[in-house]
A and B are shown apart, each in its own frame.
Chain A
Amino acid sequence: MLARRRVSVTPEGWYFLFVVVFIICAAVMREVNVLVILAGMLLGPWLLHWRLAGASLRQLRVERRLPQLTTAGQSVPVQITVYNQRRRRGSWCITVEDRICPVGQPSRQQQPIQMLIPYVAAGSSASSHYHWMIDQRGEYELSQIQLQTRFPFGLLQSRLGFSQPQKLLVGPQVGELTSAWDRLLESDRTGEHHARPLAGRTDGDYYAIRPWRTGDSRRWIHWRSTARLGKPVVKQFERQEQRQLFLLLDLADDADPAGSNQLSVELAASLAMTVVHTACRQPGGQLLLTIAGQQVHNWSTAPSRMLMEEVASLLATIQPGAGISQPGWQQQLAGLRADVLPVVISTRSQHAAGELPLGVAGSWIDCSHPDAWHYLRLAPHRLDPAAGEKLPV
């Protein structure tokens, strides 16, 4: 942690100095003794302030705490703690300036924030919290924390910079999967008959009724409700299934001159992130995940928080690349069981991808097509009360 301290005169300090010099000149030239006293009483605080400004930041240490990983649209809490290692003297009116900038962006893209820590007692610490609202995935860097103080008179300013680089990974925004997605997952059920390993009891708990459909067993008919409603209805049972999903995120860079590919990439990443997030919230099951961008990453594991963090970390910085290739796809499919449902989320159409075979139950979601939005519902932007403006949703 490299600290550099500088003391400079503020504009108010220059005005004050001008007045003091004027009074001193008048006092010296005219030898008005009371003016000399007054000049001394004005110059003294300026000089003392010069020493105090530097001393106020001496033996101060600052620490920043923030999560390493988050997702877009989430408030990122940051805690800044200033430690005063002096034994006797406190520090007042410390302004802490922090900056965040997307990695690789020019410094003018830095967003500053200032907060005031009114008082740090001797031998103690004081914390201040703030939040970043980041709605763009990527890697962000918070580099230097600058402490400033103009206490007590605001005539001189002392600055102390602490180089404390920290990175923040912002994953894609997590939304909500719609019923279209549910139908997509259950599209293989209706009208088909095949064995599927079940977990737990064969018949789950009865929890609802629905209209009778072709293929339903007669034993499921709820006769009382049928008599009441006048049409056949069947009982629905909770069935504990370990459903295997094979999710492939295909981020192909088509170099679209219109720039809409970027939107497709964001949508695909967000949709994939949401699927993983949803899967990780439901215990049990197995998730097969492949993310193909510039490189191909594979996971075959039970959904867990660790998996979600890994995926979020990867998706935070992933850029489109070649995507999945035909041999690669064949290789992936070769290892799948028959009951695994392959779903491809891609930034291109299946045709553009070379008509990769999906099998009977597989689905291809082309994020460059408007229909892709049917599967995902994103949370509206939060209003920013500090700005006093509302943003369209």
Chain B
Amino acid sequence: MNRKAHQRVEGWLQIAIVMLVSSGALLLGSGQRDFQLATLVLFAGVSSIIFTDRLGWFRLPRLLANVLMILLAFYWLCVFFGSDAGITELIAAVFSGRLTSVLRGGTDSFSRLISIASLLVYVQLVMLYQKKTLRIYGHLAIFSLLQVVVAALINTGWEFGLGLVLYITISFFVISLFHLFRQATLIERQLRRASQKANRHRQAQLQQLQPGSQRAALIGSLPVPSLDRSARVTAAGVLGWGFTRHLLGIGVGTLLFSIAFFFCMPRTGSSSWQQPGFGHYRQVGFRRDVQLSDVGQLLMSNEIALKVSYSDATTGGEYPVFREPYMRGAVLTRYRYDNQGNSHWYAMETSPLLSSESLRVPEPLSSRDLVRQEVLIEMNDDPALMAIFPVYKLPDTDQYVAYDPSSNQLHLSRSRRSPVVKQYRYVLATDAFRDGVQAEMNIKLVHDSFDKDLFSRELAEMESVPTGIARLRRFTSEHLEQANIDTNNPVLVCRTLEQFLQSDAFQYTLNLGQIQQLRQYGRDQVEDFVLNHRIGNCEYYASALVLMLRSQGIPARMIIGFRGGELNQTGNYFTVYQRNAHAWVEAFLQPDRLSPGLTEGVDPDKIRGVWLRLDPTPVFRPEQEAPARSLSDRVVDAFDYLQLLWDNNVLRLNPEQQRQAVFQQLGWDPEQGFQSLASLPLLSWLRLDFSGGWKSAIISWQFLLWLVLGPCLVWLVTRQLRQSLLARQASRPAAQLTRSELLEQARCGFFLEVELLLAGHGLKRQVSQTQREFIESCQRELPAREIAATVDGLLNTLLETYYRVRFGNQPLDERDQGQVDQQVDLLRQQLAVAGSNQVTEVRG
């Protein structure tokens, strides 16, 4: 490859390596949602190409670059071990011997990963400004790859998958260009070393003779090679479309392989890292206790809390849900009013059995109207899970989903909780829907005496009325009396009070600071809300309704959860945001309030009562239709659905999903397959025991021994086979060569070309003709075809050359070959002219 092509290849390599480094930084930044470092890397890359590589104005000396890298390594290692001091402070700490005090002993895993990745990025920045050698190019590529490994651990977005494909494609080009450049450079070096070696050899010989004498001219030395630099190879010829197509083909093959590899890689599902994505816990708006506040402005967060889809549990088809569903999170039954004038709501105590993790979600009593709810929740420091109640277990409900009947809450069990888990997916069933609408009434069942005791305690709490709300009780009674409501009809009482709170007499607000100015201190906050300022958020409304109902002897409790969400029509699921957090009320009614249809198929002895859902908050109007989705909304929905698919089918692919998606389609059960493999006689002959599982079998001395011996044996056997095959091939008589091969061997291929040219004009050599006879016959026919006389001479010359080479053992040297090539070209031109003349004549 000539110098110009070499430089061109290096130029493309420099650009490609900058693209690789930048895309790696971009992938890392996308995981952190921080693109400052990626921007810096891009700027450094572009400027290094211009000022360092092309113009050579700025190049970091090797010593300085090494010092910088050492400092960077030192700094980021300190960060890795928990330091938050600057570099100068750290250096000062080193000299003063206080380094151990600066290091706090470690940080969380996420920060450690980020520190490693940051070190890699900054080291790459330093290397970009160094003079590029083979070593620098190699290190840049390796560090970029390691950086992408870190990015893979912290990234959960679907765009990471796309970015990874792009990164791998760029890396193919980088590695190929690097290889091309490296080979050319190494060959140049080898050539120079060979020449130097030959010259050193000659120098040594010359020292034995009198210097300056012509005798030196006769001293032999090693042959010295040199390349012809005038080779007409251009970079465009090498790096053309074929090169790109070749690499893109490899990229497609890689993509297909990686998809197959991903879905076929065995999984056990026992790792706590099953759901990837390092992340800090989110500080969510959902809480498990409520304190009515009169300070500050509540901010509606647009962070995603969860995504939920509904399907028919029996048929698996989509289940359309109308109106916004209520997803329960926490049940707050206890109300306390402290001496500082604050109202608190608390949940019932959790069951002591929760620590043993033996609590499981109950099985459904019947399959009637059973709806499957599939939830993908963003994990936080609260292990509470959301669902539409009542919930039932399905066959694919995760074993780590536990239900506490004491506090009436769903939990993620402690063994599943991990700081590395960012999202969690679970499925449950519910029978709360009737024709797509969530029923307002649900049965309360008690399965055994334990349930009965628990509910009795809860019921007692729900019936308790705080002492400080006498005026509220009086007001409620008067209101019902004024409205002529039969207090013996609890449903009517509930609706009346609900509508009262939803009326314009009350004002919904998120600006709780307004309350502070109007509040009467020394008074119960809820009573103050109802009888005085009548301004508050959903917690105030729900609190008011609960206490008002209790004052009338109707047990009630507050429910905290999420209401509504945005329907993603592309994926047919609801995206619930933190701003959808809501508080509502559930009133407990006696079983005689249940309609017969509701209890069909249910054991009447287990029915304890009815929960009636009430939502006194006036902002949400069930009869309002959701606004129409614009085009941008639909595009956002599509991307969101893509993310959901990525989460479900890639990030959280578990063994069960793998079995359904891959192995069952192939008609193969990996468990059975593994069992059948494990029972093979060969394995017992090899003394390998898989009965205890594949992990225990692998960690055994027999397996390790065969792991070492096996490849050696295979290598020996294949080597023997190959040698015997080669020996057999060598002893076999050589295959008969074709005529063209014979001519090529004799270096008379040019005459074959002559014959082909003449055959194109209908002059074909017969098998029985010698070459001389053939040429003579052509020369007889030439005048009839009005072919130029020069063709005659050319044919004679070529014929003579053929005989000389073929039979005269006088091979053509380079000059003769060139002449022959020219003659053949001239013959081709002459025949072409003759051919066109003939065509012209025919047409004329």
Question: Chain A: residues with CB nearer than 8 A to chain B?
Answer: 2, 4, 19, 23, 27-45, 47-49, 52, 65, 67-68, 72-73, 75, 77, 79, 89-90, 92-93, 95, 100, 109, 111-116, 118-119, 121, 126, 128-138, 140, 150-154, 173, 175, 263, 266-267, 270, 373, 377-381, 384, 386-389, 391-393
Contacts and interface: CB of A to CB of B under 8 A. Distances in A.
Q: Of residues A52, A89, A115, which shows the largest number of chain B Cβ atoms within 10 Å of its Cβ? A: A115
B228 A130 contact: yes
Contacts of A138: 220
User: Closest 8 CB pairs between A and B?
Assistant: A136-B220, A40-B258, A40-B261, A44-B257, A387-B195, A129-B228, A113-B225, A44-B254
19 contacts: A35-B152, A40-B257, A40-B262, A43-B257, A44-B257, A44-B261, A45-B168, A45-B250, A48-B257, A112-B194, A119-B243, A126-B233, A137-B220, A154-B178, A373-B214, A379-B217, A391-B206, A392-B212, A393-B217
A136 B153 CA distance: 65
Interface residues of B, number: 89
B182 A140 contact: no
A130 B228 CA distance: 5
Contact of A131 (B153, B160, B228, B811): B228
B740 to A, nearest CB: 12
Contact of A132 (B223, B247, B269): B223
Given A29-B271, A40-B259, A113 B651 contact: no
Contacts of A38: 148-149, 152, 164
A34 B184 CA distance: 37
Contacts of A33: 262, 274, 276, 650-653
Contacts of B267: 31
A175 B215 CA distance: 13
A23 B224 contact: no
Contact of B176 (A152, A377, A378, A384): A152
Interface in B294-339: none
Given A32-B152, A65-B814, A391-B199, A152 B276 contact: no
A71 B29 CA distance: 67
B651 A34 contact: yes
A133 B243 CA distance: 36
Interface stretch (B185-193, B370-378, B797-805): B185-193
A116 B183 contact: yes
A33 B268 CA distance: 12
Contacts of A43: 257-258, 261
B376 to A, nearest CB: 15
A111 B840 CA distance: 59
B216 A132 contact: no
Nearest to A6: B722
A121 B242 contact: yes
A134 B223 contact: yes
A113 B191 contact: yes
Interface in B572-604: none
A332 to B, nearest CB: 27
Given A68-B811, A92-B246, A111 B194 contact: yes
A42 B214 CA distance: 61
A136 B205 CA distance: 13
Nearest to A76: B223
Contacts of B222: 109, 111
A53 to B, nearest CB: 12
Given A37-B161, A116-B187, 15 more contacts: A31-B268, A34-B153, A35-B153, A35-B276, A36-B262, A40-B262, A43-B261, A92-B180, A93-B179, A131-B225, A152-B250, A153-B172, A154-B178, A270-B218, A388-B196
Contact of B153 (A32, A92, A114, A393): A32
B221 interface: yes
Interface string B810-825: 0101100100000000
Interface in B116-164: 142, 145, 148-149, 152-153, 155, 160-161, 164
A392 B206 contact: yes
B791 interface: no
A4 B145 contact: no
A153 B814 contact: no
